[in-house]
Chains A and B, each alone.
Chain A
Amino acid sequence: MPNSPLKPGRRAFIAAGVVGAGALVVAGWLRRPRLPAHGVAPSYISADGIDILRAIVPVILAGALPKEPAAQAAAVDETLAALEVAVGGLPAAAQAELAQLFDLLSLPPVRIAVARIDAPWRQAAPDQVRLCLDRMRDSSLLLLRSAYGALHQLTFAAWYGNPRSWVAIGYPGPPVLA
């Protein structure tokens, strides 16, 4: 049966997920307010969050991004920029939850034990990120599934809002009004 949320093989991750849920609360306590440096626009995503997204976005968009390395790097940069704008448009409560998620995932014990990414996010191996996303999506914990849902929605909205993405899907863009 497709994608049962309760497959026995996922029990280990379920256990880790319970730890994760607790850690989410801890991460909330540990959060420090981020003050933008003078003259720098306020950021809606922490530096840790950007590192995580830089690892995750190319995996979520695998197969959709341009193949040529320079174009691909530019597309990822543009997606991250659009993502930042999109997060800025979310209500404060949703922004806070997202910040908590990034704070949690950036804690080394959580990154290693729950996300099972053994290097810092900047150096995360794409195949490990792929498995991490699969486990979040298929978790029995609503919380982790909702985290996957947020990453899915934000990333795809950021990329498919970009006209650069439209060629591959054959979307001609909006009509020109005479």
Chain B
Amino acid sequence: MSAGPSSTIIDPWAGAATAGWRIVDAATLAGATTLEADVVIVGSGAGGGTAAEILADAGLRVLLVEEGPLKSSRDFNMLEAEAYPQLYMDSAARKTRDKAINILQGRCVGGGTTVNWTSSFRTPPTTLAHWREHCGLPGFTEAALAPWFSRMEARLSIAPWEVAPNANNGALARGAHRIGIAAPAIRRNVKGCWNLGYCGMGCPTNAKQSMLVTTIPAALAKGATLVTRVRAERFVMRGDRVVALEARAMNAAGTASTGHRVTLRGTTFVAAAGAIGTPGLLLRSRLPDPLSLIGRRTFLHPSVVSAAVMPDTIDAFAGAPQTIFSDHFLDTQPVDGPIGYKLEAPPLHPILTAITLPEDGAAHARSMQQFRHLQVVIALLRDGFHPDSPGGTVHLRDDGTPVLDYPLTPFVWDGVRRAFVAMAEIQFAAGATSVSPGHGSGVAFSSFTQAKAAIGGFELAPLVTRVVSAHVMGGAPLGPDPRRAVVDVDGRHHHLRNLHVMDGSLFPTSIGANPQLSIYALAARLAAGLAAQLKPPAAAASPSRYRLV
């Protein structure tokens, strides 16, 4: 395959040393270390990365703490076997407590934004309306949020993707069109994209405008310090303030601590470790939580998969991964009714495909031999809008690591069944010769009538039905009422004056769309508010705020 439009790949990290960026790789520390700044941010993903730039821009000294390694386009070789252990939480094998849902989450500088598939959606208006009416967030209007969306869209080059979809996404568009439902194009955060299809292994051309190549380099250029391979253990409280973050250096492989303690002191702390990491950190810190809200109402978009064999070559590993979507099954029913779902078409690479296809042995091998003809649609279920969809709960294991308990309820299974039917209908309409829902032993059906009848009789169950998720939301929700929310509408902890949350854990429900842009916009709004409060323009030159020990 020939390479794309641009001739040079510029790695913003190549000049880090000459530019004097402060980067501490904790894996190389020889002993206990203390660092100090104005603001300590835990996590460098969509929330932490966005906050780091805004706070550094305001002249604040920022310490950005990341558990994963710093890897950049020089390292991104498009090999799953190397990318998953390096860039993903638990080698891309993070599971819910009963192992029924596999969760893809980034763990590297840039977090999920380094490995996501670039899908960019504003928070859907129906989701915002639900938050206004039911979650005590009357200020969350489209108009009020529009400037924050616009700001981050401009910052991250989020724009319509004008290139023709790859065959995998093209089949979704064709099938949807033939059954009469809308399937528009997805906006993407890319600049000069080569249309390769390997976003999930780290963009090798730096076209993806992730935190790794935008806000984090910008923050470092403004004097922020990045500390990598360090795991945040707990906040240390004194009265109603956090005084330090206790952390441990990780080994180079990121599998265990080297044992060296890293203490991060600051006047303000921001938790942005993602919607499993942040509740986990707050729980380990034993923060005031009289109603046990922390970690509750943590949401996924539980996602199910339908694999079709198409007569033509699809090569779903090639070309921009997710460029077409359908919200038909979200928009045509009430948000607080039976669970709705979004349809998308994911990239297929050998490992991700092989571990997702059910069965093993000869049957699995036969499916894999169809690899170039495989066309896959996923349904992402919109959880959290109905009394019967409370989502999951983050708990701590005995070793202090967080685990998400996510019961799959009849309410969710009802949506799964409808989604299997809808996906099969679309795939047959697109010309599939067979469709195999991701359930049980992966039986393939040769007509929609046959598939629909069989799906009606599926005994849907955990670890019988294949469920995956790449989006984690909630667990430290934002809201004015301390009886229902962990942080206030400014993102400040209801019980601690200088602790803020700025990541996907803020959301009171799932988003109902790929969440990166929702996180960027909300983090930008909260970080700008925090910057204004910590650094009013008149005090901009106060030298006492510039401390780094």
Contact = CB atoms under 8 A, between A and B. Distances in A.
Contacts of A60: 360-361, 364
Contact of B361 (A59, A145, A149, A174): A59
A1 B454 contact: yes
Interface string A153-167: 101110111100110
A170 interface: yes
B354 A93 contact: no
A175 B3 contact: yes
B371 interface: yes
Interface stretch (A10-18, A27-35, A81-89): A81-89
Interface in B443-476: 443, 454, 457-459, 461-464
Contacts of B85: 85-86, 89
Interface string B489-523: 00000000000000000000000000000000000
Interface stretch (B74-82, B144-152, B527-535): B74-82
Interface in A24-63: 59-63
A161 B82 CA distance: 9
Interface residues of A, number: 52
A52 to B, nearest CB: 15
Contacts of B458: 1-2
B484 interface: no
A118 B90 CA distance: 35
Interface residues of B, number: 63
Interface stretch (B19-27, B91-99, B279-287): B91-99
Contacts of B317: 171
Nearest to B398: A93
A22 interface: no
Given A168-B365, A175-B3, 15 more contacts: A3-B440, A63-B361, A63-B364, A64-B368, A89-B91, A90-B91, A92-B256, A93-B403, A149-B99, A160-B80, A169-B371, A170-B369, A174-B79, A177-B9, A178-B2
Interface of A: 1-6, 59-64, 82, 85-86, 88-94, 130, 133, 137, 142, 145-146, 148-150, 152-153, 155-157, 159-162, 165-166, 168-172, 174-178
Interface of B: 1-3, 7, 9, 77-81, 84-85, 90-91, 93, 95, 98-100, 102, 196, 198, 204-205, 253-256, 317-318, 349-351, 353-355, 360-366, 368-369, 371-372, 397, 399, 401, 403, 439-441, 443, 454, 457-459, 461-464
17 contacts: A1-B458, A2-B440, A3-B439, A3-B464, A63-B364, A92-B255, A130-B361, A133-B361, A145-B464, A149-B463, A160-B353, A161-B79, A161-B351, A169-B372, A175-B1, A175-B78, A176-B1
